[in-house]
Structure formats: structure tokens, C-alpha cells
Amino acid sequence: MLNTILNANLITPKIMPKTKPPTPKQLHKIKKINTLIIVWLLVKFLYTISVNFF
């Protein structure tokens, strides 16, 4: 699971154009997207555990 989060963090900046460094606004957007991905993975992970055990 941690691997997926790391991969998401590596992939996201690659989507951005390489011509110029991202602006703070774009960086904030990347951070927001990564946070959403991590939260979603955690929710999915916890949901899977709860379904399996309860």
C-alpha cells in the first residue's frame, strides 16, 4: 500500500510540463491531489479490513 502512495507521488509531478517549474498554485494542486489519493487509499484499506474481520 505504501508503495502505491510513493508511486502516486512520483507520477503526479511527471504529468506537469517540464518546460518551467510549477508555480506555488500548481504545487498546491499536486499536494491536494496526492492527499486525496492517500486518504482514498486509507479509506479503501480500512474498509477492506473491516469487511474481512466484522
Domain boundaries, given as residue ranges, for the chain = 2-53
Give per-residue pLDDT as tens, 20-46: 666 888 888 888 999 999 999 999 998
Nearest-angstrom CA–CA distance, 10 and 8: 5
Q: What is the mean pLDDT of the chain?
A: 75
What's the pLDDT at 24? 82
CB 1 within 8 A of CB 45: yes
What's the pLDDT at 36? 92
Q: Is the pLDDT of residue 7 over 80?
A: no
Instruction: Note the pTM of the prediction, 2 decimals.
Output: 0.47
Residue 45, C-beta contacts closer than 8 angstroms, at least 6 positions apart: 1
